[in-house]
Amino acid sequence: MDFKLWLAFFLASWAIALSPGSSAVLSMSHGLQYGVRKTSVTILGLQCGLWLLFVIAGAGVGSILVASETAFMAIKLLGAGYLIFLGLRQFFSPTSAPSALATAAEIQANPSAHPQAQAWRSRFISGFVTNATNPKGILFMVAVLPPFIHPEQGNVWLQLLILGTTLSLVDGTVMHGYAASGKLLRNWLRTARAQLWQNRIFGGLLMAIGVGLLAVKRSTSTA
């Protein structure tokens, strides 16, 4: 694969990853709730969902989804509905009294007393579904990938592997940055009132992004 072509994709990957969206909000929210280390499970789920979109687009199926009104509408409704569900769940999540708030050290010392620390499956699934059902992701992959794939330069699947790995590593780095920024707010958000506002803000953002996905339309230029 041509180095200049890869470098262009590398730079584009940073622009893609840094663009705020549902994955950034989810990473910040989980970073605030669980800390960076435990949010790595969420980010792993996000990357698996990203890889699914990448492979679908690379195999040409993404173009079919974009071309089919029914298939695209189904993906759009599923993705928007899931984000709205996540937002509602966080928006109405109960808060803890100040004396009951657990620090990361307390959770690590006594994990059985804090079920949220053990819910890694839930965090992984949240991340995976958030990216895997994102219609914007499908549209973007179908639109962006073709210029970077050149059969005359060698095995197409090897090129896809290089590009997919590049995008995933960059996106994972950025999502950990979002998680870390969420964790930095932890010490200032330990009161029950602050937790309430945290749930309202992040829950509202997720719901807003979900509603925004409903407005995404197919574009014949990306098919």
Q: Mind giving me the DSSP string for the chain?
A: --HHHHHHHHHHHHHHHHS-SHHHHHHHHHHHHH-HHHHHHHHHHHHHHHHHHHHHHHTTHHHHHHH-HHHHHHHHHHHHHHHHHHHHHHHTPPPPPGGGPPPHHHHHH-GGG-GGGG-HHHHHHHHHHHHHT-HHHHHHHHHHSGGG--GGGS-HHHHHHHHHHHHHHHHHHHHHHHHHHHHHTGGG--SHHHHHHHHHHHHHHHHHHHHHHTT----GGG-
Residue 170 has pLDDT above 70, yes or no: yes
**Hey, what are 171's tokens?**
């996106």
Does residue 11 lie within any of the structural domains? Answer: no
Does residue 15 lie within any of the structural domains? Answer: no
Most confident residue range from 3-17, 79-93, 140-154, 199-213: 3-17
pLDDT at 223: 40
What is the mean predicted confidence (pLDDT) over 18-32? 83
Does residue 4 lie within any of the structural domains? Answer: no
Best CA proximity match to 30, nearest among 112, 77, 106, 89? 89
Does residue 3 lie within any of the structural domains? Answer: no
What is the mean predicted confidence (pLDDT) over 21-27? 85
End-to-end Cα spacing for the chain: 25
Best CA proximity match to 23, nearest among 43, 38, 40, 5? 43
Does residue 9 lie within any of the structural domains? Answer: no
pLDDT in tens, 116-147: 544 888 899 999 998 888 876 777 777 667 67
Does residue 173 lie within any of the structural domains? Answer: yes
Measured CA angle at 215 (ends 209, 54), to 5 deg:
70
Instruction: Report the distance separating Cα 75 and Cα 69, nearest Å.
Output: 10
Residue 111 has pLDDT above 50, yes or no: no
Report in angstroms the alpha-carbon separations of 81 from 74, 119, 135: 10, 22, 12
Does residue 38 lie within any of the structural domains? Answer: yes
Domain range spanning residue 174?
A: 23-222
Dihedral angle of Cα 132, 135, 141, 146, to the nearest 10 degrees? 140
Residue 166 has pLDDT above 90, yes or no: yes
Does residue 118 lie within any of the structural domains? Answer: yes
Q: How many domains does the chain have?
A: 1
pTM: 0.68
**Hey, what are 72's tokens?**
């695209």
Report in angstroms the alpha-carbon separations of 20 from 16, 30, 99, 206, 221: 9, 15, 34, 12, 24
Measured CA angle at 21 (ends 23, 200), to 5 deg:
85
Instruction: Report the distance separating Cα 180 and Cα 183, nearest Å.
Output: 5
